[in-house]
Amino acid sequence: MLASPVRLHIPDGFLTPLVALIGWALALAFIAVAVRRTRIQLGERQVPMMGILAAFIFAAQTINFPVAGGSSGHLIGGALAAIVMGPWAATLIMTAVIAVQGLLFQDGGLMVMGWNILNMGVFAAFTGYAAYVLVIRLMREGRSARLAGVFVAGWVSVEVGAIATALELGISGTSPVGLAVPAMAGVHALIGLGEGLIGMGAIGFLAAARPELLESGELAPGRRGAIAVAGGVVLALVLAVLSPLASQRPDGLMSVAEQQDFLQNALPSAFGVLPNYALPFITNPALATIAAVALGTLVVFIAAWVAGRAAARRSGT
C-alpha cells in the first residue's frame, strides 16, 4: 500500500519535562563543541559533502523496512556520516536532519528533540565511528576491513541509540528499565542489521565512484565537483520518490510502546506545518508524500550546506 512514512522519533509525552530539559542542555553543549571542532577540521571543499549526506540520510530515513515481530526499521545514518566526515561534523549533519524532521514534518517532539539529537546524532556518530576504527585496526585496513567496519558500526550505533532511549524512558517512569532495555535492544538488534547493510552499500558505492571522499571527505572543485554534488542530490531525490513504498508497520520504538502500553502517552504537536510527510494541496497520497519528502530533502541539503559554509568561513579556510 502506498502511504506516508511512519513517524520515526521520540514524541513529546514519552519523557518527563525535566528529562527533556536535560536532553536539550546536553545536546546544545555537544552542538556548540561540534561547531568549534568542525571549524578546525572542516575545509571549504568538504562543505558540499555535508549537504549531500544530510539529504541522503533524510530521504533514506523515510523508507522503513519490515523486520520480524510486526515492526519496522529505518536508517539512522549517524555512523555513516561519521565514517565519511568524522563524528563532530556528523553531529551537525544529524542535527540538521532531525531539526527539519521535527520542525517541518512534526516527526519527533520539540521538547524531546534534544534527546533525539543525542540518540541518533551524537551517540550513534561517536560509538559507530569508534566501532569502525576498531574493526579497521583489528583487520589491518583493506576493502574487506572497511566494509566489515561499516557493518559493525551501523549495528552498534543502532543498539546504542536504542538502549539510550530505553534508559531515558526508564528514568522518566514511562517504562521500567528492566523491560524497556531488553525490548528496545531486542527489536533494534534486527534493525541494526539493516543499518549495517545500507551503510555497506553506501560506502561501497562511494569507494567505487569517488574513493577520494573516503580519504578526505572532499569534493574536488570545478566542474567535476559540481557534477558530484548534483549527482548526490539526485540520488537523494530518487530515494524520496521511493518513500511511499515504506513499510507501514510501527518502527522499533512505537512497537515497544504498543507492547508495553505507553503509546497513549504521546502528545500531539503544538503546531502543524506538513504533518505526516504530505503536501496538503496534492490530492494523490503517493504524489503528496513524494513531493513533501523531496522538499524536505532539499531543505536539509541547504541547511547542512549553510551550516558547513558558516563553519568553514569562520575557520578562515
Residues sharing a CB contact under 8 Å with residue 130, sequence separation 6 or more, in sequence order? none
Residues sharing a CB contact under 8 Å with residue 225, sequence separation 6 or more, in sequence order? 45, 48, 219
Query: Do 231 and 206 touch, CB atoms closer than 8 A?
Result: no
What fold characterizes domain 17-315?
Answer: Arp2/3 complex 21 kDa subunit ARPC3 (1.10.1760)
Angle at 307 between CA 303 and CA 313, to 5 degrees: 145
Residue 81, C-alpha cell as written in the block: 556520516
| pLDDT for res 227 | 72
- Distance, in Å, from the CA atom of 297 to the CA atom of 54, rounded to the nearest integer, reads 8
Residue 228 confidence (pLDDT) above 90? no
Task: Fill in the DSSP letter of residue 317.
Answer: -
**Of residues 48, 62, 105, 52, the one with CA closest to residue 221:** 48
Question: Of 203-207, 228-232, 285-289, where does the model show the most confidence?
Answer: 285-289
Alpha-carbon distance values, 63 to 55, 147, 166, 175, 192 (Å): 13, 22, 23, 28, 15
pLDDT (tens digit, 9 = 90+) per residue, 148-204? 999 999 999 999 999 999 999 999 999 999 999 999 999 999 999 999 999 999 888
Q: What is the largest CA-CA distance in the chain?
A: 56
| pLDDT for res 1 | 43
Backbone Cα Rg of the chain: 18
Torsion of CA 221, 222, 223, 225, to 10 degrees: 10
pLDDT tier at 214 (50, 70, 90 boundaries)? low
Query: Do 299 and 100 touch, CB atoms closer than 8 A?
Result: yes
Residue type, 145: A
pLDDT (tens digit, 9 = 90+) per residue, 19-71? 999 999 999 999 999 988 888 877 777 788 899 999 999 999 999 999 877 88
DSSP E strands, the chain: 65-67, 71-73
0.85 surpassed by pTM: yes
- Distance, in Å, from the CA atom of 271 to the CA atom of 275, rounded to the nearest integer, reads 9
Average pLDDT over residues 116-139: 96
Residue 6 confidence (pLDDT) above 70? no
